[in-house]
Structure 1
């Protein structure tokens, strides 16, 4: 049922006169009469009785007046909501981020986003399957490890950074200016479980460049818990130094560069190439690019 037909019907119902209704709509009276006949044929019932020059709404016409008014109101509400969404007044932004970056690095940016867009609901998801989440439209924007070019995606390179050995400030290694990859084999290490992107990236370099596998004394799935284990002296961890970007995270922890064959991570921002991106999405994208470029 075309809402244009509903608008024509509502005008006739209001005026109970085809000529006056046609003038109010800015169309000819024959055109209006034809459109009402089309609507009546679609519904299978007459909407008006024409008694001489008088027009009277039938029971079907009265029912359509009630429901048609609600239909036009719903259409108006939808248009207003979409206009508000286009102007970033409301809506939802879904962001997929690797666990290590979501734990604490991006929280200040989320707070800033809320202050600028208080009516936008920001949903941030921790996931290691960011590419799949973006392609399946379960998230709008993703921060992921760099992948080969994909026509389905807009891919914006972010930072590239080496992994460091993070140790407790009281460790015998704390004063070392650097450490070699092979030395990591002999250290008590705390890491993410296998299957996490960061763990698999480090393991690949250790295997291919050092000829060994990491021997972990403990594994946990969050960056915060890894840093807590380092502070407790349970072991060292191999992570991007950006985990220590916040001053509170640097307390009692020293980052030691790996002098040879340091694992590297290359991050990129991704979203669907055919997705509609609102102003709030674009602004969040800009802030994310700025954040990771610092």
Structure 2
């Protein structure tokens, strides 16, 4: 049994189609079929049920998929560990971040990390599919909303953040210490479009009261939303700590009372992933950043 055969086998498991798997591997379909047949002969059991052009993984195939996937991942981790020793912290660190104010707030983290590891390339991936990208090994670390506990991952709680109404500094509402959730229904709101995680949190909060949010404008950029607020076009709703990361004397954040939207943030990575010194330092920077914001926010 060769590693190459296992890689072929795993690709067929993922595609469930020999021609597609062969195209992905860059080999001919007959060559792929032959290698799978050699593997089946060695194990004395079929790994796939062939039903016309469709295939299905057998129970034996599922077992081999489980063990071979772990074997190849362990090999990749070993290569990464050795490469780290050889090239003195080079390579790429892939980070998935929720596309909202969250990635907008993390500029200081990217700068601090680059100063510590100038030879490590950061690949920032904005996505709402944080969990899936981590599990499928498409990124090394994910930062997003807390989810259901998954034994395949390490899930590190970072913060719990309440939302506030963001208003321009010259507006009459800036005299308010807090604002009722129901009052927001009468305001021209500039929010993320439907389908964004941040928008769903807000919509769910209002819907729990039997209310529906009406927006003046839907805008997918946190930076653009804040510019529109400063221009007096409307108001927006964001985590209160956003102003801690981006102090701006043209904006005021008024806490929302009576069941304000709340979100919990977590950092996650696979339990079986090799974490380089650079990755471990990135995690430490993230934890310190959110711990500082949580402490500052609680003192407001």
What TM-score results when the alignment is normalised by the length of structure 1? 0.69
SS in 2 for 1:112: helix
TM-superposed deviation, 1:112 = 1.2
Aligned 8 A contact 1:105 1:245 in 2: no
CA distance in 1, matches of 2:137, 2:105: 24
2:177 counterpart of 1:182: no
Q: Which residue of 2 aligns with 1:137?
A: 137
CA distance in 1, matches of 2:80, 2:161: 42
TM-superposed deviation, 1:137 = 1.2
SS in 1 for 2:279: helix
Q: Which residue of 2 aligns with 1:215?
A: 214
Q: Which residue of 1 aligns with 2:263?
A: 265
CA distance in 1, matches of 2:176, 2:288: 32
TM-superposed deviation, 1:83 = 2.9
Alignment match of 2:280 (pick from 258, 282, 285) = 282
Q: Which runs of 5+ in 1 are unaligned?
A: 3-78
The 1:81–1:135 alpha-carbon spacing in structure 2 relative to 1, beyond 3 Å, is closer
Alignment map for 1:1-294 (pairs within 5 Å): 82-86=81-85, 89-101=89-101, 103-208=103-208, 210-247=209-246, 249-294=247-292
Aligned 8 A contact 2:164 2:237 in 1: yes
Aligned 8 A contact 2:144 2:266 in 1: yes
What TM-score results when the alignment is normalised by the length of structure 2? 0.68
Aligned 8 A contact 1:103 1:222 in 2: no
Larger CA Rg, structure 1 vs 2:
1
SS in 2 for 1:203: helix
TM-superposed deviation, 1:169 = 1.1
Structure 1's consecutive aligned runs of 4 or more residues displaced over 4 angstroms after TM superposition are: 79-82
CA distance in 1, matches of 2:250, 2:89: 43
Q: Which residue of 1 aligns with 2:35?
A: none
TM-superposed deviation, 1:145 = 0.4
How many positions carry a matched residue from both structures?
215
Aligned 8 A contact 1:165 1:255 in 2: yes
Q: Which residue of 1 aligns with 2:69?
A: none
TM-superposed deviation, 1:82 = 4.8
Q: Which runs of 5+ in 2 are unaligned?
A: 3-77, 293-300
SS in 2 for 1:174: helix
Aligned 8 A contact 2:81 2:276 in 1: no
Q: Which residue of 2 aligns with 1:18?
A: none
Cα-to-partner distance string for 1:181-225 (whole Å, 9 max, x where unaligned): 1111111000000111111011101110x3211110111111101
TM-superposed deviation, 1:128 = 1.6
The 1:222–1:109 alpha-carbon spacing in structure 2 relative to 1, beyond 3 Å, is same
Cα-to-partner distance string for 1:110-155 (whole Å, 9 max, x where unaligned): 1111111111111111112211211111111011101111111110
CA distance in 2, matches of 1:237, 1:129: 25
Q: Which residue of 2 aligns with 1:10?
A: none
